[in-house]
Homo-oligomer: A and B are copies of this chain.
Amino acid sequence: MFFEGAEKKLEILVKNKDLLRNLNGSSFWEELVNKCDAEILSKVSNDKLTAFLLSESSLFVWEDKILMLTCGQTKLINSAHFFINKIGVENIEGLFFQRKNEIRSHLQPTDFIKDAETLNDLITGEAIRLGKMHSHHTQIFYSTTPYATKEGDFTSELLMYDMDSEVIKFLTDENLKKEQIRKFFRINLLFKDYEIDDFVFNPYGYSLNGIKEDKYFTIHVTPQETSPYISFETNIKNIEGVLNQLTEICRPFSFDILTFSTEDAIKSEFNFGQNYMKAIHMKDRLNTGHNVQFFYYNRKMEVPEKAFRFQKFI
Protein backbone atom coordinates (compact mmCIF):
# COMPACT_ATOMS: atom_id res chain seq x y z
CA MET A 1 0.00 0.00 0.00
CA PHE A 2 2.99 2.33 -0.07
CA PHE A 3 2.74 5.21 -2.54
CA GLU A 4 5.39 7.88 -2.97
CA GLY A 5 3.37 11.07 -2.78
CA ALA A 6 6.41 13.35 -3.12
CA GLU A 7 6.16 15.19 -6.42
CA LYS A 8 8.74 15.86 -9.04
CA LYS A 9 8.14 19.16 -10.80
CA LEU A 10 9.07 20.48 -14.22
CA GLU A 11 8.53 24.03 -15.42
CA ILE A 12 9.65 25.12 -18.87
CA LEU A 13 9.25 28.53 -20.50
CA VAL A 14 9.50 28.77 -24.26
CA LYS A 15 10.59 31.79 -26.33
CA ASN A 16 7.95 31.66 -29.03
CA LYS A 17 4.26 31.50 -28.14
CA ASP A 18 3.30 29.80 -31.39
CA LEU A 19 5.31 26.73 -30.46
CA LEU A 20 2.87 25.60 -27.76
CA ARG A 21 -0.22 26.95 -29.53
CA ASN A 22 0.57 24.81 -32.57
CA LEU A 23 0.65 21.71 -30.40
CA ASN A 24 -2.95 22.07 -29.24
CA GLY A 25 -5.16 19.38 -30.63
CA SER A 26 -2.19 17.13 -31.41
CA SER A 27 -1.21 13.98 -29.57
CA PHE A 28 1.83 15.80 -28.15
CA TRP A 29 0.48 16.29 -24.63
CA GLU A 30 -0.55 12.65 -24.39
CA GLU A 31 2.92 11.57 -25.56
CA LEU A 32 4.59 13.96 -23.11
CA VAL A 33 2.61 12.48 -20.22
CA ASN A 34 3.11 8.89 -21.38
CA LYS A 35 6.89 9.41 -21.46
CA CYS A 36 6.92 9.45 -17.67
CA ASP A 37 4.53 6.50 -17.36
CA ALA A 38 1.48 8.57 -16.47
CA GLU A 39 -1.81 9.03 -18.30
CA ILE A 40 -4.20 11.90 -18.93
CA LEU A 41 -7.48 11.38 -17.04
CA SER A 42 -9.31 14.57 -17.98
CA LYS A 43 -8.81 18.25 -18.78
CA VAL A 44 -10.32 21.69 -18.30
CA SER A 45 -9.43 24.67 -20.41
CA ASN A 46 -9.92 28.41 -20.89
CA ASP A 47 -8.37 31.07 -23.16
CA LYS A 48 -5.18 31.27 -21.14
CA LEU A 49 -4.63 27.90 -19.57
CA THR A 50 -5.26 24.18 -20.06
CA ALA A 51 -5.08 21.90 -17.02
CA PHE A 52 -4.72 18.14 -17.44
CA LEU A 53 -5.45 15.84 -14.53
CA LEU A 54 -3.04 12.90 -14.66
CA SER A 55 -3.00 9.40 -13.25
CA GLU A 56 -0.05 10.78 -11.22
CA SER A 57 -0.76 14.49 -10.60
CA SER A 58 -1.07 17.35 -13.10
CA LEU A 59 0.05 19.16 -16.26
CA PHE A 60 -0.67 22.85 -16.89
CA VAL A 61 -0.12 24.51 -20.25
CA TRP A 62 -0.06 28.29 -20.81
CA GLU A 63 0.78 29.93 -24.12
CA ASP A 64 4.46 30.21 -23.24
CA LYS A 65 4.94 27.80 -20.32
CA ILE A 66 4.29 24.29 -19.11
CA LEU A 67 4.18 23.07 -15.52
CA MET A 68 4.15 19.36 -14.85
CA LEU A 69 3.89 17.66 -11.46
CA THR A 70 4.17 13.91 -11.14
CA CYS A 71 4.47 11.62 -8.15
CA GLY A 72 4.82 7.89 -7.50
CA GLN A 73 7.59 6.25 -9.52
CA THR A 74 7.09 8.38 -12.64
CA LYS A 75 10.15 9.28 -14.70
CA LEU A 76 9.50 12.99 -15.13
CA ILE A 77 13.04 13.45 -16.42
CA ASN A 78 12.01 11.49 -19.53
CA SER A 79 9.17 13.93 -20.20
CA ALA A 80 11.64 16.81 -19.78
CA HIS A 81 13.97 15.38 -22.43
CA PHE A 82 11.05 14.58 -24.74
CA PHE A 83 9.79 18.17 -24.49
CA ILE A 84 13.24 19.74 -25.02
CA ASN A 85 13.91 17.55 -28.05
CA LYS A 86 10.53 18.33 -29.57
CA ILE A 87 10.67 22.09 -29.02
CA GLY A 88 14.38 22.42 -29.64
CA VAL A 89 16.82 23.49 -26.94
CA GLU A 90 17.30 26.85 -28.74
CA ASN A 91 13.63 27.66 -28.10
CA ILE A 92 13.80 27.08 -24.34
CA GLU A 93 13.74 30.33 -22.39
CA GLY A 94 14.03 28.85 -18.93
CA LEU A 95 13.78 25.53 -17.10
CA PHE A 96 13.18 24.43 -13.50
CA PHE A 97 13.37 20.81 -12.44
CA GLN A 98 12.61 20.06 -8.82
CA ARG A 99 12.54 16.98 -6.63
CA LYS A 100 11.84 16.88 -2.93
CA ASN A 101 13.28 14.34 -0.55
CA GLU A 102 11.52 11.07 -1.20
CA ILE A 103 10.49 8.61 1.47
CA ARG A 104 11.52 5.47 -0.35
CA SER A 105 14.00 6.69 -2.91
CA HIS A 106 15.12 3.11 -3.59
CA LEU A 107 11.86 2.66 -5.50
CA GLN A 108 12.73 5.55 -7.81
CA PRO A 109 14.28 4.83 -11.22
CA THR A 110 16.73 7.78 -10.95
CA ASP A 111 17.85 10.26 -8.31
CA PHE A 112 17.93 14.05 -8.47
CA ILE A 113 21.66 14.31 -9.14
CA LYS A 114 21.46 11.96 -12.11
CA ASP A 115 18.47 13.85 -13.50
CA ALA A 116 20.21 17.20 -13.06
CA GLU A 117 23.32 15.90 -14.82
CA THR A 118 21.38 14.87 -17.91
CA LEU A 119 19.67 18.29 -18.04
CA ASN A 120 22.96 20.12 -17.52
CA ASP A 121 24.34 18.37 -20.62
CA LEU A 122 21.72 20.30 -22.64
CA ILE A 123 21.11 23.49 -20.68
CA THR A 124 23.59 25.44 -18.55
CA GLY A 125 22.28 25.45 -15.03
CA GLU A 126 22.84 25.22 -11.33
CA ALA A 127 21.65 22.76 -8.70
CA ILE A 128 20.63 23.91 -5.24
CA ARG A 129 19.13 22.40 -2.13
CA LEU A 130 16.64 24.23 0.08
CA GLY A 131 16.24 22.71 3.52
CA LYS A 132 18.68 20.37 5.20
CA MET A 133 20.03 17.12 3.80
CA HIS A 134 19.01 15.22 6.93
CA SER A 135 15.61 16.88 7.21
CA HIS A 136 12.91 18.11 4.85
CA HIS A 137 14.42 19.54 1.71
CA THR A 138 13.84 20.07 -1.97
CA GLN A 139 16.45 20.08 -4.70
CA ILE A 140 16.20 22.25 -7.79
CA PHE A 141 18.09 22.31 -11.05
CA TYR A 142 17.42 25.52 -12.98
CA SER A 143 18.75 27.17 -16.12
CA THR A 144 20.99 30.11 -15.28
CA THR A 145 20.88 31.90 -18.63
CA PRO A 146 19.17 35.22 -17.83
CA TYR A 147 15.79 36.05 -19.31
CA ALA A 148 13.20 38.72 -18.71
CA THR A 149 11.11 37.42 -15.83
CA LYS A 150 7.49 38.42 -15.85
CA GLU A 151 6.39 40.83 -13.23
CA GLY A 152 4.12 39.22 -10.73
CA ASP A 153 5.37 35.71 -11.41
CA PHE A 154 4.55 33.95 -8.16
CA THR A 155 4.31 30.31 -7.10
CA SER A 156 3.77 28.80 -3.70
CA GLU A 157 3.74 25.21 -2.56
CA LEU A 158 2.38 23.80 0.69
CA LEU A 159 3.50 20.22 1.42
CA MET A 160 1.81 18.62 4.42
CA TYR A 161 2.99 15.43 6.13
CA ASP A 162 1.73 12.93 8.70
CA MET A 163 -1.75 14.30 9.15
CA ASP A 164 -3.80 13.76 12.28
CA SER A 165 -5.26 10.23 12.54
CA GLU A 166 -8.83 11.53 12.22
CA VAL A 167 -7.95 13.25 8.97
CA ILE A 168 -6.30 10.08 7.68
CA LYS A 169 -9.31 8.03 8.71
CA PHE A 170 -11.63 10.34 6.77
CA LEU A 171 -9.43 10.43 3.66
CA THR A 172 -8.90 6.65 3.54
CA ASP A 173 -12.65 5.91 3.60
CA GLU A 174 -13.06 3.86 0.44
CA ASN A 175 -16.56 5.17 -0.20
CA LEU A 176 -15.64 8.86 -0.27
CA LYS A 177 -17.23 10.95 -3.01
CA LYS A 178 -15.72 13.97 -4.76
CA GLU A 179 -18.29 16.25 -3.17
CA GLN A 180 -17.33 15.19 0.35
CA ILE A 181 -13.65 15.82 -0.33
CA ARG A 182 -14.34 19.23 -1.91
CA LYS A 183 -16.36 20.14 1.14
CA PHE A 184 -13.60 18.88 3.45
CA PHE A 185 -11.07 21.18 1.72
CA ARG A 186 -13.62 24.05 1.64
CA ILE A 187 -12.95 24.41 -2.10
CA ASN A 188 -16.03 26.52 -2.82
CA LEU A 189 -15.22 28.90 0.01
CA LEU A 190 -11.50 29.25 -0.54
CA PHE A 191 -11.49 29.27 -4.35
CA LYS A 192 -14.50 31.12 -5.68
CA ASP A 193 -15.38 30.92 -9.39
CA TYR A 194 -12.65 28.42 -10.24
CA GLU A 195 -13.37 25.70 -12.78
CA ILE A 196 -12.71 22.44 -10.94
CA ASP A 197 -11.58 19.08 -12.30
CA ASP A 198 -11.05 16.35 -9.73
CA PHE A 199 -10.70 12.60 -9.40
CA VAL A 200 -11.01 10.07 -6.56
CA PHE A 201 -8.57 7.16 -6.91
CA ASN A 202 -9.30 3.57 -5.98
CA PRO A 203 -9.20 2.59 -3.12
CA TYR A 204 -8.42 6.21 -2.08
CA GLY A 205 -6.31 9.20 -2.98
CA TYR A 206 -7.52 12.39 -4.61
CA SER A 207 -6.35 14.91 -7.21
CA LEU A 208 -7.82 18.29 -8.06
CA ASN A 209 -7.04 21.01 -10.61
CA GLY A 210 -8.71 24.39 -10.44
CA ILE A 211 -8.30 27.18 -13.02
CA LYS A 212 -9.54 30.76 -13.52
CA GLU A 213 -7.99 32.80 -16.34
CA ASP A 214 -4.20 32.25 -15.99
CA LYS A 215 -4.45 31.22 -12.33
CA TYR A 216 -4.31 27.62 -11.15
CA PHE A 217 -4.33 25.65 -7.95
CA THR A 218 -3.85 21.94 -7.52
CA ILE A 219 -4.28 19.53 -4.63
CA HIS A 220 -2.96 15.97 -4.44
CA VAL A 221 -3.79 13.66 -1.57
CA THR A 222 -1.87 10.48 -0.68
CA PRO A 223 -3.58 9.46 2.55
CA GLN A 224 -1.94 6.02 3.02
CA GLU A 225 -1.29 5.58 6.72
CA THR A 226 2.32 4.51 6.12
CA SER A 227 3.24 7.83 4.52
CA PRO A 228 0.37 10.34 4.60
CA TYR A 229 0.97 13.40 2.43
CA ILE A 230 -1.05 16.26 0.91
CA SER A 231 0.36 18.81 -1.50
CA PHE A 232 -1.06 22.14 -2.62
CA GLU A 233 0.39 24.43 -5.26
CA THR A 234 -0.79 27.65 -6.82
CA ASN A 235 0.19 30.86 -8.62
CA ILE A 236 -2.49 32.84 -6.75
CA LYS A 237 -0.97 35.77 -4.88
CA ASN A 238 -1.64 36.84 -1.28
CA ILE A 239 -2.17 33.21 -0.40
CA GLU A 240 -1.15 33.27 3.29
CA GLY A 241 -4.74 33.02 4.54
CA VAL A 242 -5.48 30.00 2.36
CA LEU A 243 -2.29 28.24 3.49
CA ASN A 244 -3.24 28.88 7.07
CA GLN A 245 -6.72 27.42 6.54
CA LEU A 246 -5.36 24.35 4.72
CA THR A 247 -3.05 23.53 7.63
CA GLU A 248 -6.00 23.90 10.00
CA ILE A 249 -8.08 21.56 7.84
CA CYS A 250 -5.39 18.92 7.32
CA ARG A 251 -3.72 19.08 10.73
CA PRO A 252 -0.32 17.78 9.55
CA PHE A 253 2.45 16.94 11.99
CA SER A 254 4.79 18.98 9.80
CA PHE A 255 4.66 20.99 6.61
CA ASP A 256 6.91 22.85 4.18
CA ILE A 257 6.19 26.05 2.33
CA LEU A 258 8.15 26.93 -0.77
CA THR A 259 7.66 30.25 -2.57
CA PHE A 260 9.09 31.63 -5.80
CA SER A 261 8.55 35.23 -6.76
CA THR A 262 10.07 37.92 -8.92
CA GLU A 263 8.98 40.46 -6.34
CA ASP A 264 10.30 41.14 -2.90
CA ALA A 265 6.79 41.34 -1.60
CA ILE A 266 6.54 37.85 -0.13
CA LYS A 267 6.02 37.86 3.57
CA SER A 268 9.14 36.45 5.15
CA GLU A 269 7.09 34.92 7.94
CA PHE A 270 3.79 33.09 8.14
CA ASN A 271 1.70 32.94 11.24
CA PHE A 272 0.58 29.45 12.11
CA GLY A 273 -0.49 30.18 15.62
CA GLN A 274 0.67 28.41 18.71
CA ASN A 275 0.54 24.88 17.34
CA TYR A 276 3.62 24.94 15.12
CA MET A 277 7.21 26.02 15.41
CA LYS A 278 9.46 27.03 12.55
CA ALA A 279 12.31 24.55 12.25
CA ILE A 280 13.95 25.71 9.01
CA HIS A 281 13.86 28.93 7.04
CA MET A 282 15.98 29.46 3.93
CA LYS A 283 15.95 32.41 1.57
CA ASP A 284 17.90 33.02 -1.57
CA ARG A 285 17.90 34.79 -4.92
CA LEU A 286 18.32 32.77 -8.10
CA ASN A 287 20.18 33.98 -11.18
CA THR A 288 16.81 34.10 -12.97
CA GLY A 289 15.75 36.97 -10.73
CA HIS A 290 13.44 34.83 -8.61
CA ASN A 291 13.42 35.07 -4.87
CA VAL A 292 12.98 31.68 -3.32
CA GLN A 293 12.03 30.84 0.24
CA PHE A 294 11.72 27.53 2.06
CA PHE A 295 10.02 27.06 5.44
CA TYR A 296 9.67 23.86 7.45
CA TYR A 297 7.20 23.89 10.33
CA ASN A 298 6.80 21.18 12.95
CA ARG A 299 3.89 20.73 15.36
CA LYS A 300 4.76 21.32 19.00
CA MET A 301 4.65 18.00 20.83
CA GLU A 302 3.84 18.63 24.47
CA VAL A 303 3.25 15.01 25.47
CA PRO A 304 5.30 12.06 24.15
CA GLU A 305 3.56 9.87 21.59
CA LYS A 306 3.55 6.09 21.38
CA ALA A 307 5.51 4.26 18.71
CA PHE A 308 3.84 3.46 15.40
CA ARG A 309 3.20 -0.30 15.20
CA PHE A 310 3.18 -1.91 11.78
CA GLN A 311 -0.03 -3.96 11.58
CA LYS A 312 1.50 -6.15 8.93
CA PHE A 313 4.64 -5.99 6.89
CA ILE A 314 3.86 -3.83 3.90
Taking beta carbons and an 8 Å cutoff, which residues of A are in contact with B?
103-108, 111, 113, 116-117, 120, 126-130, 132-136, 161-162, 226-229, 253-254, 268, 277-284, 292-294, 298, 301, 304-310, 313-314
Min Cβ gap A172→B in Å is 15
A-B contacts, 11 of them at CB < 8 A, read A104-B111, A105-B105, A106-B111, A116-B310, A116-B313, A126-B309, A128-B308, A128-B309, A132-B162, A135-B161, A135-B253
Check B282–A133 contact: CB distance below 8 A.
no
Check B279–A298 contact: CB distance below 8 A.
yes
Check A136–B133 contact: CB distance below 8 A.
no
Interface centre among A136, A306, A314 (most CB of B within 10 A): A306
Task: Please measure, in the bound complex, the distance between the C-alpha atom of A229 and the C-alpha atom of B308, giving whole angstroms.
Answer: 25
| This protein's copies in its complex | 2
Check A134–B301 contact: CB distance below 8 A.
no
Chain B residues near A116 (CB, 8 Å)?
310, 313
Check A134–B111 contact: CB distance below 8 A.
no
Check B305–A282 contact: CB distance below 8 A.
yes
Check A135–B305 contact: CB distance below 8 A.
no
Check A313–B127 contact: CB distance below 8 A.
yes
Chain B residues near A292 (CB, 8 Å)?
307
Check A127–B309 contact: CB distance below 8 A.
yes
Chain B residues near A279 (CB, 8 Å)?
277, 279, 298, 301
Check B105–A307 contact: CB distance below 8 A.
no
Contact partner of A113 among B103, B253, B313, CB < 8 A?
A: B313
Check A162–B136 contact: CB distance below 8 A.
no
Chain B residues near A310 (CB, 8 Å)?
113, 116, 126-129
Task: Please measure, in the bound complex, the distance between the C-alpha atom of A135 and the C-alpha atom of B103, giving whole angstroms.
Answer: 9
Chain B residues near A281 (CB, 8 Å)?
301, 304-305
Min Cβ gap A148→B in Å is 23
Task: Please measure, in the bound complex, the distance between the C-alpha atom of A130 and the C-alpha atom of B309, giving whole angstroms.
Answer: 9
Min Cβ gap A188→B in Å is 29
List 11 additional A-B contacts (Cβ < 8 Å) besides A135-B253, A279-B279.
Answer: A105-B106, A128-B307, A128-B310, A129-B308, A132-B253, A133-B228, A135-B162, A278-B301, A281-B305, A284-B307, A294-B307
Min Cβ gap A83→B in Å is 21
Chain B residues near A103 (CB, 8 Å)?
133-134
Chain B residues near A298 (CB, 8 Å)?
135, 279-280, 298
Known contacts A105-B106, A301-B281, A313-B116; decide if A307 and B129 are in contact (CB<8 Å). yes
Task: Please measure, in the bound complex, the distance between the C-alpha atom of A294 and the C-alpha atom of B108, giving whole angstroms.
Answer: 29
Chain B residues near A106 (CB, 8 Å)?
105-108, 111
Check A117–B313 contact: CB distance below 8 A.
yes
Chain B residues near A294 (CB, 8 Å)?
307
Min Cβ gap A138→B in Å is 10
Chain B residues near A308 (CB, 8 Å)?
128-130, 133
